[in-house]
Amino acid sequence: MKRTWTIIGVRDVASSLKWYQTLLGQPPRVLRHNYFGQILDSDGTVLLCLHNWGAHNHPSLTSADHATPGNGLLLFFRVDDFDLALERARALVSRLEEEPHMNPNTRTAEFSLRDPDGYYLTISALSAA
């Protein structure tokens, strides 16, 4: 296996795309479809896919009403601009789920927040502080 594409169900692909681009410090991209979008790294690597709930009848993406978004899923992003990502996160949400702290397992700084659809995500520094 070379790559994995994590796909999450969202209410509004355009809004979620903008939210994640802002959080991860990415330039805006034109959305090709109103039902599907991708968060891409600067080299074109897919970091996350956003899929409109109910589009295309995928069994696990039929409706947010059938499952709690994010149950059993942790989105974990390693970033090379941790301090700036923290500033962007604080501008996007009213509160963090976890304030910045040192993860004893990765030995890197991290914080956690929820996206507009309720998914729990952790932002971690790429390297030890």
7-125 to CATH, choices 3.40.640.10, 3.40.50.740, 3.10.180.10, 2.70.98.60 = 3.10.180.10
Q: What is the structure's pLDDT at 74? A: 81
CA distance 31 to 20: 13
Ordered by start, the domain boundaries in the chain are 7-125
Q: What is the structure's pLDDT at 106? A: 87
Q: Which residues pair with 36 in a beta bridge?
A: 51
Condensed to tens digits (0 to 9), the pLDDT of residues 51-102 reads 988 787 766 677 777 776 666 678 899 999 999 999 999 999 999 999 999 9
Alpha helices (H) in the chain, listed in sequence order: 13-23, 82-92
Q: What is the structure's pLDDT at 87? A: 98
Q: What is the structure's pLDDT at 59? A: 66
Give the type of residue at 52.
Answer: N
Tell whether pTM > 0.75. Answer: yes
What is the chain's mean pLDDT, rounded? 88
Cβ neighbors of 8 (< 8 A, separation 6 or more) are: 48, 49, 50, 51, 69, 70, 73, 75, 117, 119
List the strands of the sheet with 36-40, edge to edge: 7-10, 46-52, 36-40
